[in-house]
């Protein structure tokens, strides 16, 4: 895909974030969509392309009253929205549609109108993982951590520092769910969830949503907001079974999606001003820093513990507070994308001064899928 | 009301031989006749070279502890926390999720790379699960 041919011209989250007891999941999609449409200065009838995950495109399009000529229902977990951005950019460039709306919403906490997630007993996961007591992401996502730690010499304290640093970012963000400062000791003394991970190393569970609007870079000039260009994109999938990953020392999906996006953007790591790495759990930023090629895996834990990713550090990471402290409805990728767009527009609550290139890296399932988007505010 | 039960596998035509094996006290894997790749989970073709000529064989049942978590909460139905959810790397190459029996469910006792051997845990008259215990000697 050619770089900077498509831009984000509308971006918004749901009016409320956190605990939203007065709206269904479907209504949260609509709330985010209407906010993004207002942000872009568009009408619903201007939307001719639509993408969403978990909910079907027909469900959300009908509810909103949209009549699309292009839809994408790619649903690979929390990074689905990174893949939607990639697919939408390709569709716009190919002339299949002009203006694409991407929505996410999840009533992750209040569970109103939330679709059930189930593992059929005759699926491969149902036969070869479920019988061993996996029960939700906290029991599965950290399974690779101990091997990763042993191979690369990562310490429990370093993994705890991920949560500490992200809380520092969250403290600057009025919409963050958790803002009180925490220490490494607080993390290591918090309630055990699934050894080696404790409560403060696991994501929040909240309600919310977000929406993006994309159009061609040429048309983007006429919109009210500063366009944020799609500079590079990548995607991949590996396996729905965490036990069947090629290795626990890295993620194959990350190692495929990330470098693809860097190559398409034509950038080097030193060019990155701002970075988002989907942090459902505290180990993901370490995998991300290694798999995306920022540094050797051995260096990732110390890099974060030394404060390089904190406010004022040389590589600002997860500047909204992340899934650990900002919000996590279940599929966090949309919120990472929203933060990258805010940073590129220059309006983030914890704005990185003069940031020109933002890399936004997502995960789906337990390292099952991945999508990476490189954004820039300069064409 | 009955106690909530541990999740029970339901075999498919492609996996039936595996579950027949565990019932007979065998851990069965598949090997590609064309390229010799040994793989898991079961399927009637080789995921490395796409050959449909594959053979089922009895694995050694030996391996080592590749990684794990000790789950505290929430616990799956039928489990009493804390319990380890492990990934075992078999001597033949493939890895599989399992539980570790005859071993304290603690970080001190569960050492990465410790040698393990298969054991069989009967859930009901249809399903026997392969689990692992520290290898003797
Ligand atoms: Zn083969």
Task: Compare all CA atoms of chain A with the CA of B93 and give the residue at the minimum distance.
Answer: A246
pTM to 2 decimals?
A: 0.97
Q: Which domain holds residue B93?
A: 16-134
Q: Which residues surround ligand 1, an ion (CB under 5 A)?
A: B 32, 34-35, 37, 46, 48-49, 51
Compute φ and ψ for A2, nearest 5 degrees. -75, 145
pLDDT level of residue B137 (50, 70, 90 thresholds): low
Residue B115: Cβ within 10 Å count: 15
pLDDT level of residue B2 (50, 70, 90 thresholds): low
- Give the separation between CA A225 and CA A38, rounded to whole angstroms: 11
Go through chain B and tell me how many residues it has. 137
pLDDT level of residue B5 (50, 70, 90 thresholds): confident
Listing from the earlier edge strand, what are the strands of the sheet with B54-58?
B38-39, B28-32, B54-58
Q: How do residues A304-352 score in pLDDT, each as one tens digit?
A: 999 999 999 999 999 999 999 999 988 999 999 999 999 999 999 999 9
- Give the separation between CA A165 and CA A305, rounded to whole angstroms: 8
Cα B31 to ligand 1 centre (Å): 8
CA torsion angle B98 A144 A256 A307 (round to 10):
170
Task: Compare all CA atoms of chain B with the CA of A197 and give the residue at the minimum distance.
Answer: B69
Listing from the earlier edge strand, what are the strands of the sheet with A207-216?
A70-72, A49-52, A100-107, A207-216, A6-13, A228-237, A369-376, A357-364, A274-277
Go through chain A and tell me how many residues it has. 379
Residue B7 within any structural domain of the chain: no
Domain tally for chain B?
1
Task: Establish if B114 touches chain A: CB-CB under 8 angstroms.
Answer: no
- A80: alpha, beta or left? (left if phi > 0; alpha if psi -120 to 50): alpha
pLDDT of residue B3: 63
Residue B53 within any structural domain of the chain: yes
Residue B1 within any structural domain of the chain: no
What is the CATH number for B72?
Answer: 2.40.50.840
Residue B113 within any structural domain of the chain: yes
- Give the separation between CA B43 and CA A30, rounded to whole angstroms: 42
Q: How do residues B76-92 score in pLDDT, each as one tens digit?
A: 999 999 999 999 999 99
Residue B95 within any structural domain of the chain: yes
Q: How do residues B47-63 score in pLDDT, each as one tens digit?
A: 999 999 999 999 999 99
Residue B6 within any structural domain of the chain: no
Enumerate the residues of chain B whose CB falls inside 8 A of the CB of residue A133.
6, 71, 75-76, 78-79, 83, 85, 99
Domains of chain A: 6-113+204-376 (3.40.47.10)
Integer-rounded Cα Rg, in Å, for chain A is 19
For the record, the structure tokens of A210 come out as: 């977000």
Q: How do residues B24-49 score in pLDDT, each as one tens digit?
A: 999 999 999 999 999 999 999 999 99
Q: How do residues A87-103 score in pLDDT, each as one tens digit?
A: 999 999 999 999 999 99
Residue B5 within any structural domain of the chain: no
With a cut of 50, which residues of chain A have pLDDT below it? Answer: none
pLDDT of residue B1: 47
Residue B51 within any structural domain of the chain: yes
pLDDT of residue B115: 98
Determine whether the interchain pair A124/B76 forms a contact, defined as Cβ–Cβ distance below 8 Å.
Answer: no
- Give the separation between CA A189 and CA A183, rounded to whole angstroms: 10
């Amino acid at each position: 895909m050619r770089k900077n041919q498509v831009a984000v011209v509308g971006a918004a989250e749901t009016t409320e974030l956190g605990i939203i007891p007065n709206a269904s999941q479907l209504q949260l999609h609509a709330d985010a969509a209407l906010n993004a449409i207002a942000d872009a200065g568009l009408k619903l009838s201007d939307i001719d392309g639509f993408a969403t995950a978990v909910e079907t495109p027909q469900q959300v399009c009908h509810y909103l009253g949209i009549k699309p000529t292009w839809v994408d229902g790619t649903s690979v977990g929390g990074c689905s929205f990174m893949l939607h951005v990639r697919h939408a950019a390709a569709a716009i460039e190919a002339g299949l549609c002009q203006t694409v709306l991407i929505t996410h919403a999840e009533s992750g906490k209040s569970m109103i109108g939330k679709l059930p997630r189930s593992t059929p007993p005759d699926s491969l996961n149902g036969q070869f993982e479920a019988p061993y007591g996996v029960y939700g992401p906290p029991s599965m996502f950290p399974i690779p951590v101990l091997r990763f730690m042993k191979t690369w010499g990562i310490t429990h304290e370093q993994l705890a520092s991920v949560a500490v640093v992200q809380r520092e970012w969250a403290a600057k963000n009025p919409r963050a769910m958790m803002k009180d400062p925490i220490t490494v000791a607080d993390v290591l003394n918090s309630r055990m969830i699934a050894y080696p991970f404790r409560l403060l190393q696991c994501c929040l569970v909240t309600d919310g949503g977000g929406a993006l609007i994309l159009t061609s870079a040429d048309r983007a000039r006429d919109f009210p907001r500063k366009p944020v260009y799609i500079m590079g994109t990548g995607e991949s999938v590996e396996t729905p079974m965490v036990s069947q990953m090629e290795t626990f020392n890295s993620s194959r999906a990350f190692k495929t999606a990330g470098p693809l996006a860097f190559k398409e953007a034509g950038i080097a790591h030193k060019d990155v001003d701002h970075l988002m790495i989907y942090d459902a759990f505290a180990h993901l930023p370490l995998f991300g820093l290694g798999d995306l090629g920022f540094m050797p895996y051995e260096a990732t834990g110390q890099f974060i513990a030394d404060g390089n990713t904190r406010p004022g550090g040389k590589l600002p990471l997860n500047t909204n507070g992340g899934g650990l402290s900002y919000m996590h409805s279940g599929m966090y990728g949309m919120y990472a994308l929203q933060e990258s767009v805010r940073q590129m527009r220059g309006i983030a609550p914890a704005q990185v001064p003069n940031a020109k290139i933002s890399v936004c890296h997502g995960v789906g399932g337990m390292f099952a899928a991945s999508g990476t988007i490189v954004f820039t505010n300069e064409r | 009301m009955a106690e909530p039960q541990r999740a029970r596998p339901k075999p498919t035509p492609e996996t039936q031989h595996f579950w027949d094996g565990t019932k007979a006290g065998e851990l069965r894997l598949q090997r590609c006749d064309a390229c010799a790749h040994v793989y898991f989970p079961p399927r009637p073709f080789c995921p490395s070279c796409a050959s449909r000529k594959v053979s089922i064989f009895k694995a050694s049942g030996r391996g080592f502890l590749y990684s794990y978590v000790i789950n505290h909460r929430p616990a799956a139905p039928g489990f009493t926390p804390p319990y380890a959810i492990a990934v075992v790397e078999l001597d033949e190459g493939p890895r599989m999720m399992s539980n570790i029996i005859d071993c304290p469910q603690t970080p001190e006792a569960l050492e990465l790379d410790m040698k393990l051997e298969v054991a069989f845990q009967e859930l009901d008259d249809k399903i026997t699960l392969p689990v692992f215990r520290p290898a003797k000697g």
